[in-house]
Amino acid sequence: MSHQWNIVDATDTSHPDYYHRVVDCQWACPAHTDVPEYIRLIAQGRFTDAYMVNRHSNVFPGILGRVCDRPCEPACRRGRVEAKPVAICRLKRVAADHRDDVTARLPKIPRIKNGKRIACIGAGCASLTVANDLLPLGYEVTLFEQFATPGGLMRTNIPAFRLPASVLDEEIGMILGMGVDLRLGHRVESLKEMLEAGGYDAVFVGSGAPKGKELLLPGREEAAANVHIGISWLESVAFGHVERIGGRVLIIGVGNTAMDCCRTSLRLGARQVKVMARKPRAFFKASAWELEDAEEESVEIIVNRSPKAFVLENGRLAGMTFECMEYDLDPRGRIIAERVSGEEFIPADDVILAIGQDNAFPWIERDLGIEFNKWDVPVVDPATFQSTRPGVFFGGDAAFGPKNIIWAVEHGHQAAISIHRHCQGEPLAERLPPGVNLQSRKMGMHEWSYANDYAPAERRLMPHVSLKERFQKINIEVELGFSAEQVAQEVQRCLNCDVQTVFSAKLCIECDACIDICPVDCLTITPNAPEAQLRTQLKAPAKNLSQPLYVSAPLPQTRRVMVKDEDLCVHCGLCAERCPTAAWDMQKSHVRWPHAEDEARSLEQRKPKIA
């Protein structure tokens, strides 16, 4: 391998990130769910297996299959090759909806415990994941929950028409069934008391970001009866404390909570719901699909209106005044100037504020050795999730502010590893590194053990309950799930990016067969050069600079190099199929993303054996 300054060194594909990042969805997923693998299992009708692949990484496939923020989908390669990504999230729901009973396949819980006790504060997705990972290792886990039901924001903030209670109950039940000591209706008022009382070897704080942001404008106090804070209001709806809302409702803010608020309002009697956005559509925080679903229900989204005051008539809220905003954008779409061009009054019976939420830790005393930063949130290590007080860990929204369920799950996995290492007296940072296993998919002449035909079908549309029916009750799930035919087509849209093209330079005879057959022109044999120049020497332009090029070792006959632009490879396997010397092979990459059980196994193996 040459180290001359003017060429690119051969790509080190043994680095665990190399093949991992080729699988765009898995790389983008905070929990690194093996998406192509479970999609293939669904294609084979193996729903339970598909569910278990999911559960291993993301713990709540049924829940996430409905309400995940899906960072995988914008990353999906299908979206670059064609227009729309694979409906990854909704396929996850297919696995959850059609699986068999998985009780027998859940981790076994040892009867004899390891003597370590863990307290988790808040029974949301982060704490539940910690329990899920630690119970099989023999830990005793106590979950403290302020409400009478577990689930945290998944239950209180996501309306039942998007996420039915039965789905929540079942997946949370799997973890509770492992033997969690669940303390419902138990609000932790003082961390100091808990720590001083002792009895826990580690404390995990997964209490979420439960404080909705306030909008202090003239009239706010006087109109209090009809101005609601989004997440608290959704919570009251979830627990049946609120059953009605006025006919005309304004939602302030345009994030995903706003979308839940506007759609919930429609189910509580509102006839006219307007979502008020300060900025143009390109700046909306809500996911595109949540906006779509709200607009399908005739919610009106009004842009460029900045709230100015609450207006009262006869001591009751009558509406709000807004400043009409105008923005100047630069060519990249960023705001460079803004001005007020007028004012507008919009009548309303109720206003819901959905402009964000904050962490709140009034129950954590500031003299416990837990350092708080200038925003008054605890300082948390982003890799170990430990606070500045050893043995106290944070995860989910409580750690770094509001994110989403899938991030909270991954925080839980990582915190569980840290808690285990902490309890075993091992340094937290020296955790197991990730790895990748590769396994050939070649079965014989022209036979590959995956469906490598490119299916030109477009993304399937999720069928919905009709607009007439869906408002009759608050808990009618709007999305019906894919039909069998839709599943059959959607699974084939997956490009199997995890079936990697693995190249062996020493076998190459430079016959060009792979280059000529590649449908997306992602291969080139060329003299080596600095990367910027190399990108201009390729058969088709490699424009995605965030995707590194694969550069082989020098080829035996001419010392040129094989360069692959992974960006648009459709993993059809034709390079391997056409290669006369099997220099190309298609190999399934299996990303080993360690969890607490792997950590435990590795620590066990390293222990000195007593003869």
Partner 1 sequence: MTFITKPKVAHPSLPRNALGCTRRDYEGALSTLCAGCGHDSITAAIVEACWGLSLEPQNLVKLSGIGCSSKTTAYFVSGGHGFNSVHGRMPSIATGANAANRRLSYIGVSGDGDTLSIGLGQFCHAIRRNLDMLYIIENNGVYGLTKGQFSASADVGSKAKKGETNLQPPIDPVLLALDLGATFVARSFSGDKRQLVPLIEAGLRHRGFALIDVLSPCVTFNDHEGSTKSYAYTREHYEPAVLADFVPREREITADYGAGEASEVILHDGSRIVLRKLDADYDPGDRRAAAARVQERMSSGEYLTGLIYLDASGERPEFHQVSRTPEVPLNSLPYEALTPGAKALEKILARYR
- Which residues lie near partner 1 (CB under 8 A)? 80-82, 446, 452-454, 456, 509-513, 515-517, 519-522, 540-541, 543, 557-558, 568, 570, 572-574, 577-581
Cα 148 from Cα 241, distance rounded (Å): 14
CB of 89 to partner 1, least distance (A): 23
Output 34 or 490, the one with its CB closest to partner 1: 490
With beta carbons less than 8 A apart as the criterion, state whether 523 and 494 touch.
Answer: no
With respect to partner 1, which residue has the nearer C-beta, 55 or 441? 441
Smallest gap from Cβ 284 to partner 1, in A, equals 26
Min dist. Cβ of residue 439 to partner 1 (A): 21
* Closer residue to partner 1 (CB): 369 or 580: 580
Comparing CB distances to partner 1, the nearer of 244 and 446 is 446
Distance between CA atoms of 28 and 83, rounded to whole angstroms?
19
Q: Which residues contact residue 461 at a Cβ distance below 8 angstroms, ignoring those fewer than 6 apart?
A: none
Residue closer to partner 1 by CB (options 155, 571) is: 571
Closest contact distance (angstroms) between CB of 453 and partner 1 is: 7
Taking phi over 0 as left and psi of -120 to 50 as alpha, with beta for the rest, 135 belongs to alpha
Phi, psi for residue 610 in degrees, rounded to 5? -95, 120
User: Cβ closer to partner 1: 360 or 517?
Assistant: 517
Give least dist CB 534 to partner 1, A.
16
Q: Residue 250 and residue 355: Cα distance in Å, rounded?
A: 13
Least CB distance to partner 1 at residue 90 (A): 23
Residue 112 or 532 having the CB closest to partner 1 = 532
Give dist(CA 261, CA 252) in Å, integer. 10
Cβ contacts of 135 within 8 Å, gap of 6 or more: 107, 109, 141, 175, 178, 179, 180
Q: How far is the CB of 568 from partner 1 (least distance, A)?
A: 6
Q: Is residue 209 a contact partner of residue 357, using CB atoms and an 8 Å limit? A: yes
Nearest distance in Å: CB 512, partner 1: 4
Element spanning 49, H or E: helix 47-58
Pairing state between β 549-551 and 357-358: unpaired
According to DSSP, the β-strands at 549-551 and 181-183 are unpaired
- Report the C-alpha gap between 256 and 240 in whole angstroms: 21
Residue 487 or 586 having the CB closest to partner 1: 586
Q: Which is nearer to partner 1, 102 or 505 (CB)?
A: 505
What minimum distance in Å lies between the beta carbon of 510 and partner 1?
6
Whole-number Cα distances in Å, 596 to 108, 129, 201, 600: 14, 11, 16, 6
DSSP state of 198: -
How near is the Cβ of 77 to partner 1 at its closest, in Å? Answer: 11
Task: Kindly tell me which of 561 and 572 has the beta carbon lying closer to partner 1.
Answer: 572
| Measured distance CA(419)–CA(401) in Å, rounded | 21
Any idea what DSSP says for residue 16? H
Helix intervals (H) in 99-245: 125-134, 153-156, 165-176, 191-197, 230-238
